[in-house]
Amino acid sequence: MKTIYLLLTIAVALSAAGTSQTFTGIITDTMCGAKHNMVKDQPDEACIKMCTKGSSEYALFDGKTVFKLSDQKLAAKYPAKRVKVTGTLNEKSKTIKVALLEPAGDAK
């Protein structure tokens, strides 16, 4: 009986921890977030590229929250672009472990 209870507990914990979600937003960087003011008179893409050459990392801004992304190489292909990210969210660190990152199909 104890073995069955232990196995059920482990199964529930693993399924909750690994719940994949889809997020839609704009690829940005962790320093600027929603507002890009570092490079005057340049598009947001230029600011994001400049910031990520330093200590900043690629992130997703969903309109409310900036989420750090685990796959920096893939995110680098889409600076200032609207994308869909599928992955698991670590609430504590606000990091999405990316399983899939692709352009958003909408025109928003």
**Where is pLDDT greater, at 6 or 3?**
3
pLDDT band of 18, cuts 50, 70, 90: low
Q: Is 80 exposed, middle or buried (0-12, 13-18, 19+ CB in 10 A)?
A: middle
**Where is pLDDT greater, at 90 or 5?**
90
The mean predicted confidence, pLDDT, of the chain is 86
pTM, two decimals, is: 0.79
Q: Report how far apart, in Å, the C-alpha atoms of 63 and of each of 18, 25, 69, 79 are.
A: 24, 7, 16, 16
